[in-house]
Chains A and B, each alone.
Chain A
Amino acid sequence: MIEDIELEALINDVYEYYGFDFGSYSRASLKRRVSRVFYLDGFKHFHEFLSKVRTDPEYCKRMIDEITVNVTEMFRDPSFYMTLRKDILPLLGTKPFIRIWHAGCSTGEEVYSMAIMLKELGLLHKSILYATDINAAVLETAKSGIFPLRMIKDYADNYRDSGGQEDFSDYYIANYGYAKFSEDLSEKMVFSQHNLVSDTSFNEFDLILCRNVLIYFDNNLQKRVVNLFDDSLAVLGFLALGTKETIKYSISPTKYKQFEREKIWRKIKE
């Protein structure tokens, strides 16, 4: 493992040279991730690693892509998707237009899951799905809609457990170990790079999903990001987090009402 002071030196340099601010990330995970790239790329001394990061913007980009945790799934936590399908999306469906933001979308599995449900509910044509991440590389994968075929069986199970009744294999074409998801699904998706630490609100949404991203942030940054979501959410809109995340420490409880026992909160006043 690298040392604490080495990690702080890296955080400082990445901010000073490139403007990416990791100063409010949870240290335990960040330290493991930075150590991982350091050893993976064969460095022996930390100062060599540091000077590589400082002098080589391409390498710095790679490092950032490697330290972010991008593990994701389609229909991760089926009961959560069941609630979206049965309760939340039908409520939003009464509106003329549905705007959804996936913040920290990683390689996009979550976004394609959403599009499948919207399509089945007959709502996709009047929806728009903004999907953002700090990591440019994962956004390229997300745009392509191509996911490893070996994961598809689990995804099909998750889909079914979340209330899906169609033939899941109708949504993709399998080829050489990959599944390419249909362009009908991606038509309404807009992908762009957005940093939750430093970028501002860019639209007003009816539903914001930010799942398993806040766990990488300390309490202060969590608070700032939840307030960014609050600024970006229409009244009566919904905010959805990961199963072990909460807005409890971040925002006045009188403003949001939790939806049953799911990690979904409705904004009840401006």
Chain B
Amino acid sequence: MEENKRIIKDCKVVIIGGSAGSLQVLLQILPFIENPISFAIVIVVHRKQSDEQTLEALLALKSQVKVIDVEDKVALKPGFIYIAPSNYHLLFEKEKTLSLDTSEKINYSRPTIDVSFESAAEIYGSALVGILLSGSNSDGTIGMKAIQNAGGITVVQNPVSAEMSFMPNNAILHTQPDYVLNTEEILAFIKEINPD
């Protein structure tokens, strides 16, 4: 989708959602992002309650950009990576903080990508980039639509390069993402956000 390639500026938040097969992708992207970044990165992935802190620990170890352990009402600031804790929905507040919610699981998941994407779109509008990775369910599609409607940019992992293609395929089918990219391209894309 080269034709609609454009410079992305004034981005405040990049939100990345994924499910099965997305961890490897994150590990091929996040460690290669160099400090400082002029936006915040928020990660919302489905995972088991039992691997509570392992994702945070792994990414904190590997990435240069500092990973924040998300607690309720933590300030969302450019320059950091925030990871949605397991067993809570992650929401965005007007005051530029993150808040947590234990309401019912949606399609057996908490957090859900749709809930966080919708909430981020409401607060950040056109200053938001949403990226949807590998997964084997339909979570994320509604969220991607919300981001588009609010004027944000959407990126879907190329289903061919995804370990589980259902989730990216579903989003491509029901929304018209601005970009469909494979893993290296997603990394390059993120590096080009907000050029000085």
Which residues of A line the B interface, CB within 8 A?
1, 26-29, 32-33, 69, 71, 212, 214-216, 218-219, 222, 242-246, 249
B73 at interface, CB cutoff 8 A: yes
The count of residues in chain B whose C-beta lies closer than 8 Å to any C-beta of chain A is 21
Binds A, one of B26-34, B98-106, B165-173: B98-106
- Cα A29 to Cα B104 in complex, Å, equals 12
User: Whole-angstrom distance from the CB of B76 to the nearest CB of chain A?
Assistant: 12
- Cα A71 to Cα B100 in complex, Å, equals 13
Find out whether the CB atom of A246 lies under 8 angstroms from the CB atom of B71: yes
B135 at interface, CB cutoff 8 A: no
Sample 20 A-B pairs with CB under 8 A, ordered by A number. Answer: A1-B122, A26-B91, A28-B91, A28-B93, A28-B99, A28-B119, A29-B101, A32-B91, A32-B101, A32-B115, A215-B72, A215-B101, A215-B102, A218-B73, A244-B70, A244-B72, A244-B85, A245-B71, A245-B72, A246-B71
Find out whether the CB atom of B102 lies under 8 angstroms from the CB atom of A71: yes
- Cα A107 to Cα B70 in complex, Å, equals 27
Most central of B73, B91, B94, B118 by chain A CB within 10 Å: B73
| Contacts of B78-128 to chain A: CB distance below 8 A | 85, 88, 91-95, 99-104, 115, 118-119, 122
| Contacts of B5-64 to chain A: CB distance below 8 A | none
Q: Given A71-B102, A215-B100, does the pair A26, B93 have CB atoms closer than 8 Å?
A: yes
CB contacts (< 8 Å) of A215 on chain B: these are 72-73, 88, 99-102
User: Whole-angstrom distance from the CB of A249 to the nearest CB of chain B?
Assistant: 7
- Which one, A29, A244, A249, contacts B103 given CB within 8 A? A29
- Cα A27 to Cα B85 in complex, Å, equals 20
Q: Given A28-B99, A29-B99, A29-B101, does the pair A219, B92 have CB atoms closer than 8 Å?
A: no
Which residues of B line the A interface, CB within 8 A?
70-73, 85, 88, 91-95, 99-104, 115, 118-119, 122
CB contacts (< 8 Å) of B102 on chain A: these are 69, 71, 212, 215
Find out whether the CB atom of A214 lies under 8 angstroms from the CB atom of B72: yes
User: Which secondary structure characterizes the binding site on chain A?
Assistant: loop
- Which one, A1, A27, A212, A249, contacts B73 given CB within 8 A? A249
Given A32-B103, A215-B102, 16 further pairs, Cβ under 8 A: A26-B93, A28-B119, A28-B122, A29-B91, A29-B101, A29-B103, A32-B91, A71-B102, A215-B72, A215-B99, A219-B73, A244-B85, A244-B88, A244-B100, A245-B71, A246-B72
CB contacts (< 8 Å) of B73 on chain A: these are 26, 215, 218-219, 222, 249
Find out whether the CB atom of B103 lies under 8 angstroms from the CB atom of A69: yes
- Cα A219 to Cα B73 in complex, Å, equals 8
CB contacts (< 8 Å) of A1 on chain B: these are 118, 122
- Cα A216 to Cα B100 in complex, Å, equals 8
CB contacts (< 8 Å) of A216 on chain B: these are 101
CB contacts (< 8 Å) of A33 on chain B: these are 103
User: Whole-angstrom distance from the CB of A173 to the nearest CB of chain B?
Assistant: 27
- Cα A235 to Cα B101 in complex, Å, equals 31
User: Whole-angstrom distance from the CB of B50 to the nearest CB of chain A?
Assistant: 10
- Cα A245 to Cα B69 in complex, Å, equals 12
- Cα A244 to Cα B95 in complex, Å, equals 19
CB contacts (< 8 Å) of A214 on chain B: these are 72
